[in-house]
Amino acid sequence: MKKLIFSTFIIAVLFSCKKNENADQLENQTNTENIDSTSQAMTIESDVASMKVVNQEELSNLISNKKNDTIYVTNFFATWCPPCMREIPDFVDKMKELKGKPVKFTFVSVDARDDWSSKVSDFADEYGLKENIVLFDASTISPDYFTKITKTWDGGSIPFTVIKKGDKEIENVGMMSKEDLDAKLNSFK
Protein backbone atom coordinates (compact mmCIF):
# COMPACT_ATOMS: atom_id res chain seq x y z
CA MET A 1 0.00 0.00 0.00
CA LYS A 2 2.88 2.35 0.85
CA LYS A 3 4.42 1.62 -2.55
CA LEU A 4 1.13 2.53 -4.27
CA ILE A 5 0.84 5.83 -2.38
CA PHE A 6 4.51 6.63 -2.97
CA SER A 7 4.18 5.82 -6.72
CA THR A 8 1.08 8.03 -6.99
CA PHE A 9 2.95 10.85 -5.24
CA ILE A 10 5.94 10.55 -7.61
CA ILE A 11 3.67 10.56 -10.67
CA ALA A 12 1.82 13.64 -9.34
CA VAL A 13 5.12 15.48 -8.79
CA LEU A 14 6.32 14.60 -12.29
CA PHE A 15 3.09 15.79 -13.90
CA SER A 16 3.09 19.01 -11.90
CA CYS A 17 6.62 19.76 -13.11
CA LYS A 18 5.51 19.10 -16.64
CA LYS A 19 2.61 21.56 -16.16
CA ASN A 20 5.02 24.29 -15.05
CA GLU A 21 7.14 23.61 -18.09
CA ASN A 22 4.01 23.84 -20.27
CA ALA A 23 3.02 27.06 -18.54
CA ASP A 24 6.46 28.53 -19.34
CA GLN A 25 6.10 27.41 -22.94
CA LEU A 26 2.60 28.89 -23.11
CA GLU A 27 3.86 32.20 -21.68
CA ASN A 28 6.70 32.30 -24.23
CA GLN A 29 4.26 31.44 -27.02
CA THR A 30 1.88 34.19 -25.85
CA ASN A 31 4.72 36.72 -25.78
CA THR A 32 5.72 35.68 -29.31
CA GLU A 33 2.09 35.96 -30.48
CA ASN A 34 1.86 39.46 -28.96
CA ILE A 35 4.98 40.50 -30.85
CA ASP A 36 3.57 38.96 -34.04
CA SER A 37 0.23 40.74 -33.50
CA THR A 38 1.99 44.06 -33.02
CA SER A 39 4.04 43.66 -36.19
CA GLN A 40 0.94 42.50 -38.06
CA ALA A 41 -0.95 45.58 -36.83
CA MET A 42 1.91 47.78 -38.03
CA THR A 43 1.78 46.08 -41.44
CA ILE A 44 -1.98 46.55 -41.65
CA GLU A 45 -1.59 50.20 -40.71
CA SER A 46 1.02 50.82 -43.39
CA ASP A 47 -0.92 48.93 -46.10
CA VAL A 48 -4.17 50.77 -45.41
CA ALA A 49 -2.66 54.15 -44.54
CA SER A 50 -4.50 55.87 -47.38
CA MET A 51 -7.83 54.37 -46.29
CA LYS A 52 -9.45 55.77 -43.17
CA VAL A 53 -10.52 53.49 -40.33
CA VAL A 54 -13.75 54.74 -38.77
CA ASN A 55 -15.39 53.93 -35.46
CA GLN A 56 -19.14 53.84 -34.75
CA GLU A 57 -19.43 57.55 -34.02
CA GLU A 58 -17.47 58.53 -37.14
CA LEU A 59 -19.58 56.21 -39.29
CA SER A 60 -22.78 57.70 -37.85
CA ASN A 61 -21.50 61.19 -38.70
CA LEU A 62 -20.48 60.04 -42.17
CA ILE A 63 -24.02 59.02 -43.10
CA SER A 64 -25.85 61.75 -41.21
CA ASN A 65 -27.82 64.44 -43.07
CA LYS A 66 -25.79 67.41 -44.19
CA LYS A 67 -27.26 70.81 -45.01
CA ASN A 68 -25.69 71.48 -48.41
CA ASP A 69 -26.26 70.75 -52.10
CA THR A 70 -23.99 67.70 -52.28
CA ILE A 71 -25.39 64.23 -52.96
CA TYR A 72 -23.77 61.68 -50.64
CA VAL A 73 -23.66 58.08 -51.85
CA THR A 74 -22.53 55.64 -49.15
CA ASN A 75 -22.21 51.97 -50.07
CA PHE A 76 -21.58 49.21 -47.52
CA PHE A 77 -19.71 46.28 -49.06
CA ALA A 78 -17.26 43.45 -48.50
CA THR A 79 -14.79 41.89 -50.90
CA TRP A 80 -16.25 38.43 -50.17
CA CYS A 81 -19.74 39.55 -51.29
CA PRO A 82 -20.43 38.69 -54.98
CA PRO A 83 -23.35 41.16 -55.40
CA CYS A 84 -21.15 43.91 -53.94
CA MET A 85 -18.38 43.14 -56.37
CA ARG A 86 -20.84 43.12 -59.30
CA GLU A 87 -22.36 46.53 -58.51
CA ILE A 88 -19.22 48.50 -57.60
CA PRO A 89 -17.94 48.85 -61.19
CA ASP A 90 -21.20 50.70 -61.98
CA PHE A 91 -20.59 53.00 -59.02
CA VAL A 92 -17.03 53.63 -60.25
CA ASP A 93 -18.34 54.47 -63.75
CA LYS A 94 -20.90 56.85 -62.22
CA MET A 95 -18.17 58.49 -60.13
CA LYS A 96 -16.16 59.16 -63.29
CA GLU A 97 -19.24 60.48 -65.09
CA LEU A 98 -20.09 62.86 -62.24
CA LYS A 99 -16.53 64.01 -61.54
CA GLY A 100 -16.52 67.71 -60.69
CA LYS A 101 -20.21 67.68 -59.71
CA PRO A 102 -21.44 67.93 -56.11
CA VAL A 103 -21.59 64.17 -55.56
CA LYS A 104 -19.45 62.30 -53.02
CA PHE A 105 -19.08 58.51 -53.13
CA THR A 106 -17.92 56.64 -50.04
CA PHE A 107 -17.52 52.88 -49.80
CA VAL A 108 -17.63 51.38 -46.30
CA SER A 109 -15.79 48.07 -46.12
CA VAL A 110 -17.16 45.70 -43.51
CA ASP A 111 -14.49 43.10 -44.28
CA ALA A 112 -12.66 41.48 -41.37
CA ARG A 113 -9.65 43.46 -40.11
CA ASP A 114 -7.38 40.65 -41.29
CA ASP A 115 -8.47 41.36 -44.88
CA TRP A 116 -7.90 45.13 -44.82
CA SER A 117 -4.24 45.02 -45.85
CA SER A 118 -4.72 42.32 -48.46
CA LYS A 119 -8.14 41.88 -50.08
CA VAL A 120 -9.53 45.36 -49.40
CA SER A 121 -6.28 47.11 -50.27
CA ASP A 122 -5.93 45.10 -53.50
CA PHE A 123 -9.55 45.82 -54.41
CA ALA A 124 -9.07 49.54 -53.73
CA ASP A 125 -5.96 49.57 -55.93
CA GLU A 126 -7.73 47.70 -58.73
CA TYR A 127 -10.57 50.24 -58.91
CA GLY A 128 -8.65 53.35 -57.82
CA LEU A 129 -10.82 53.74 -54.72
CA LYS A 130 -8.31 54.14 -51.86
CA GLU A 131 -9.48 57.72 -51.23
CA ASN A 132 -13.15 56.65 -51.27
CA ILE A 133 -12.98 53.59 -49.01
CA VAL A 134 -13.35 53.71 -45.25
CA LEU A 135 -12.73 50.66 -43.10
CA PHE A 136 -15.22 49.70 -40.42
CA ASP A 137 -14.78 46.83 -37.97
CA ALA A 138 -18.37 45.62 -37.79
CA SER A 139 -17.40 42.77 -35.45
CA THR A 140 -17.21 45.20 -32.53
CA ILE A 141 -20.71 46.69 -32.72
CA SER A 142 -23.93 45.94 -30.91
CA PRO A 143 -26.57 44.02 -32.91
CA ASP A 144 -28.89 47.04 -33.10
CA TYR A 145 -26.26 49.57 -34.23
CA PHE A 146 -27.34 49.80 -37.88
CA THR A 147 -31.03 50.08 -37.01
CA LYS A 148 -30.13 53.18 -35.01
CA ILE A 149 -28.29 54.93 -37.87
CA THR A 150 -30.44 53.83 -40.84
CA LYS A 151 -34.18 53.60 -41.49
CA THR A 152 -34.46 50.25 -43.22
CA TRP A 153 -31.24 48.30 -42.70
CA ASP A 154 -30.40 46.00 -39.81
CA GLY A 155 -26.85 45.29 -41.00
CA GLY A 156 -27.74 41.70 -41.77
CA SER A 157 -27.09 41.79 -45.51
CA ILE A 158 -24.97 43.65 -48.00
CA PRO A 159 -24.66 45.48 -50.26
CA PHE A 160 -26.50 48.39 -48.70
CA THR A 161 -26.50 51.88 -50.15
CA VAL A 162 -27.81 55.12 -48.70
CA ILE A 163 -28.05 58.21 -50.91
CA LYS A 164 -28.66 61.57 -49.24
CA LYS A 165 -28.97 65.20 -50.13
CA GLY A 166 -30.11 67.54 -47.38
CA ASP A 167 -33.17 65.93 -45.77
CA LYS A 168 -33.97 63.65 -48.72
CA GLU A 169 -32.80 60.08 -48.37
CA ILE A 170 -33.03 56.82 -50.30
CA GLU A 171 -31.91 53.52 -48.82
CA ASN A 172 -31.38 50.40 -50.89
CA VAL A 173 -30.79 46.93 -49.43
CA GLY A 174 -29.33 44.58 -52.01
CA MET A 175 -27.54 44.98 -55.30
CA MET A 176 -28.35 47.93 -57.55
CA SER A 177 -28.11 47.78 -61.31
CA LYS A 178 -26.62 50.66 -63.28
CA GLU A 179 -30.15 51.72 -64.21
CA ASP A 180 -31.28 51.65 -60.55
CA LEU A 181 -28.31 53.76 -59.53
CA ASP A 182 -28.98 56.26 -62.35
CA ALA A 183 -32.66 56.54 -61.43
CA LYS A 184 -31.96 57.03 -57.74
CA LEU A 185 -29.32 59.70 -58.39
CA ASN A 186 -31.55 61.46 -60.96
CA SER A 187 -34.33 61.68 -58.37
CA PHE A 188 -32.14 64.16 -56.45
CA LYS A 189 -31.98 66.68 -59.32
Greater confidence, 99 or 40?
99
Greater confidence, 189 or 183?
183
Q: pTM value?
A: 0.74
Q: Which residues pair with 12 in a beta bridge?
A: none
* Closest residue by Cα to residue 184 from 166, 159, 164: 164
pLDDT band at 4; cut points 50, 70, 90: very low
The string of pLDDT tens digits covering residues 38-53 is 433 444 455 566 799 9
DSSP SS3 for 104: strand
Question: What CATH homologous superfamily does 52-186 map to?
Answer: Glutaredoxin (3.40.30.10)
How confident is the model over 97-109, as a mean pLDDT? 96
Q: Which of 16-25, 145-154, 178-187 has the highest mean pLDDT?
A: 178-187
Residue 17 has pLDDT above 80, yes or no: no
**Residue count of the chain:** 189
